[in-house]
Amino acid sequence: MKWLSFFRTIQAKVIIIYVLLILIAMQLIGVYFVSAMKNSLTSNFTTDLQERAELMSVLAAKTLAGGEPDENPEESLQVMVSNLFNMDGAEIQVLDATGKVLTTSLLSHADYVGNKNTQTVVSRALQGIVDNEEYIIDDDGTRKKVVAKPVIHNGKIVGAIYIVASMSELYGTMQRINSIFISGILLALGLTAVLGVILSHTITHPIKELTRHARAVAEGRFTEKTPVFGSDEIGQLSQTFNYMTSRLREALSQNEEEKEKLASILTNMSDGVIATDEAGRIILMNRRAGQMLGVEGEELAGREIGPLLGLSEIEAESLARGVSDSKLLEFTPGESGQPFMMRVTFTPIHRREIGITGTIAVLQDVTEQEKLEASRREFVANVSHELRTPLTTIKSYTEALEDGALEDKQMGPRFVGVIQNETGRMIRLVTDLLHLSRMDSKESALRKQRVDIVEMLEDVEDRFSFQMQQKNVHTIIDAKPGVSTAMLDRDGIDQVLDNLISNALKYTPDGGTITMEADITEDGMLSLSVEDTGIGIPKKDLDRIFERFYRVDKARTRNMGGTGLGLSIAREIVRVHGGSISLQSELEKGTKVTFTLPLNDEGGATE
Ligand code: ADP
């Protein structure tokens, strides 16, 4: 079927049209030319025969009319016929008034002499009709022209001239002309076909190139360029196509860039993003959403978002329609995942004229936020509670003083003492809170200086010596070899040690021992510890002991004047130094708090 498809090409069509045009033109010209030629030749031939017959009739008139008495009419006619009328393939007969053949130019027809020529043309001529001609086809198929003319002498018909001439030479000439014409046509057609091939090639070649290039563009190969052949319409089309390709490439690469940007934004977002269609079925989700929900993104394509997030149908519907925009959920990913707090925010996608076509759901892990919020609430409640207790006490004692206790010599000073105590506790609490808040807001910069460790520990011991003596608590300072100086914020570390020693003192019964130990750890840090032989801390409380306001036994420790902030302040100070703090304790045996600090400058801020 290859040939069939060839006929469908422009090239074939151009060639066929050209050849047909030439064929039709040549045919028309040929028909007109050949018929004109034939008419002209035939009329010339006939005129020639007529003229000869005319001449002969004039010449023979006298002889036929009787002529000179001395002449033999047959002979003189024979001389005339053979001398004047010598024509190939033609016969001239001179007939008398009866139609009898007197002489003939054709020797082979000599036997006709004396016989009557009965042809119609002859009888018409003998009747005086001048133009008599006839076209006959011989028994052997030869086309012949017959002409007969009357011979008139003195107004009397004395005979007739009969000429019959073969037209085969004329037709031969016509045949030759025809064959020249046909070969001319064939040559012209051949040349036209060749020209058509060349011409159509100049048109179809760029079109083929353009088609190939268009296919390449469709397949995404934008680098190929269509060759531009000349500056004609097809050349301009090729140029425009190249321009279109480059514009398309630019537009696509821009599009691709945008898509990549969007994809990388989506992938690297810390929030989960899920896009759904108007029926709430998932069409796209980012990696983070998959991580949060504990599934692979592909698994979820086509699933409904409502049941996936554990939302009721009504909730999912109202979120998707934008009636309510966000919801806080406690979500457990998969079967065994850790539950976490998730805020889901829905944004309906509106399209002009169509309305809501889908929803974008943003999933945020708000566990930390919620925890912070809860601890902030707890902190505020704690602070209020801590302040309310001394304030209530102060209020009731001042009321009692007002009601007369002031006059009482015994009660008065005792009540004032309680008020002073509570005020002192409040001041400590507020001071501790201020301290913590300064550290939280990183306002307090460290003022590091080279500090002699043993001297620092001895100073602490001195500060508490009175209280220790009162409680009969024994102190040991144990500085391991290698411990000498360190770069510390002396005030900060003093505070840590004060807090720890005051705790140790508070929770160690009379006669106990407090050991302060200084050592260098394997990784080159200074390790300081305060160990007591006190009441210890139950195991269940160890995890939370560093939390703000955390107390093991609230009522008792409050009575001891603690604010519940001592250990958390100590932890903050150690942390800004770049160290760590830990606590080991056994009930009724004692507690050991150990903290490490960098020996030199690294970690923390220096002034
Ligand atoms: P406070 O100012 O109330 O002492 P801390 O933060 O210093 O607050 O301590 C928190 C809680 O830890 C205390 O209420 C106490 O119950 C317990 N604690 C701290 N140090 C010791 C210790 N050396 N022995 C026993 N319990 C302790």
The CATH number covering residue 103 comes to 3.30.450.20
Taking the CA of residue 602 as centre, how many other CA atoms within 13 Å lie in the half-sphere pointing to its CB? Answer: 5
Whether the predicted pLDDT of 453 surpasses 90: yes
Q: Is residue 156 situated within a structural domain?
A: yes
Whether the predicted pLDDT of 537 surpasses 50: yes
Same domain? 429 vs 529: no
Residue type, 363: L
Cα 77 to middle of ligand 1, angstroms:
174
| Span 250-298, pLDDT tens digits | 998 999 999 999 888 888 888 999 888 888 888 888 888 888 888 775 6
Same domain? 378 vs 339: no
Same domain? 310 vs 417: no
> Which of 245, 268, 291 represents a domain boundary (last residue)?
268
Residue type, 599: L
Cα 393 to middle of ligand 1, angstroms:
23
Give the pLDDT score at 207. Answer: 87
Same domain? 460 vs 588: yes
Q: Is residue 3 situated within a structural domain?
A: no
Phi, psi of 285 (to 5 degrees): -150, 150
> Which of 309, 331, 363 represents a domain boundary (last residue)?
363
> In testing the pocket of ligand 1, which one of 379, 503, 515, 539 has its CB within 8 Å of the most ligand atoms?
503
Q: In the structure, what pLDDT confidence band is assigned to residue 605 with cuts at 50, 70 and 90?
A: very low
Same domain? 477 vs 586: yes
> In testing the pocket of ligand 1, which one of 425, 496, 500, 567 has its CB within 8 Å of the most ligand atoms?
567
The residues pairing with 451 across neighbouring beta strands, listed in sequence order, are: 486
Question: Which DSSP helix (H) or strand (E) runs through 71?
Answer: none
High-pLDDT (> 90) share of the chain, %: 31
Domain with 521 in it: what CATH number? 3.30.565.10
Contact between 305 and 326 (Cβ < 8 Å): no
Same domain? 491 vs 531: yes
Count of beta carbons in the 10 Å neighbourhood of residue 3:
7
- Most confident of the following: 296-300, 339-343, 449-453: 449-453
Q: In the structure, what pLDDT confidence band is assigned to residue 451 with cuts at 50, 70 and 90?
A: very high
Whether the predicted pLDDT of 557 surpasses 90: no
Same domain? 394 vs 454: no
348-370 in b/e form (b: 16+ CB < 10 A) is bbeeeeeeeebbebbbbbbeeee
> In testing the pocket of ligand 1, which one of 551, 556, 593 has its CB within 8 Å of the most ligand atoms?
551
Q: Is residue 134 situated within a structural domain?
A: yes
Q: In the structure, what pLDDT confidence band is assigned to residue 607 with cuts at 50, 70 and 90?
A: very low
Q: What is the mean pLDDT of the chain?
A: 86
The tokens describing 281, both together, are 């079925």
Instruction: Please give the residue range of the domain that contains residue 349.
Output: 274-363
Closest residue (by CA) to atom 23 of ligand 1? Answer: 504
Whether the predicted pLDDT of 66 surpasses 90: no
**Total domains in the fold of the chain:** 5
Q: Is residue 304 situated within a structural domain?
A: yes
Q: Is residue 210 situated within a structural domain?
A: no
pLDDT, mean of residues 94-98: 88
What's the rounded Cα separation, in Å, for the pair 571 and 581?
6
Cα 562 to middle of ligand 1, angstroms:
8
Closest residue (by CA) to atom 25 of ligand 1? Answer: 536
| Span 139-165, pLDDT tens digits | 888 889 999 999 888 888 889 999 998
What's the rounded Cα separation, in Å, for the pair 47 and 90?
14
> Which of 233, 251, 268 represents a domain boundary (last residue)?
268
Picking from 109, 134, 130, 108, the residue whose alpha carbon sits closest to that of residue 120 is 134
Is 504 near ligand 1, meaning CB less than 6 Å away?
yes
Q: Is residue 206 situated within a structural domain?
A: no
Is 529 near ligand 1, meaning CB less than 6 Å away?
no
CA 509 to chain centre: 79
3-state SS track over 470-535: HHCCEEEEEECCCCCEEEEEHHHHHHHHHHHHHHHHHCCCCCCEEEEEEEECCCCEEEEEEEECCC
Same domain? 253 vs 279: no
Q: In the structure, what pLDDT confidence band is assigned to residue 476 with cuts at 50, 70 and 90?
A: very high
Closest ligand 1 atom to residue 548 Cα is 6
Top-confidence residue, 598 or 551: 598
Same domain? 473 vs 534: yes
Is 514 near ligand 1, meaning CB less than 6 Å away?
no
High-pLDDT (> 70) share of the chain, %: 95
Is 503 near ligand 1, meaning CB less than 6 Å away?
yes
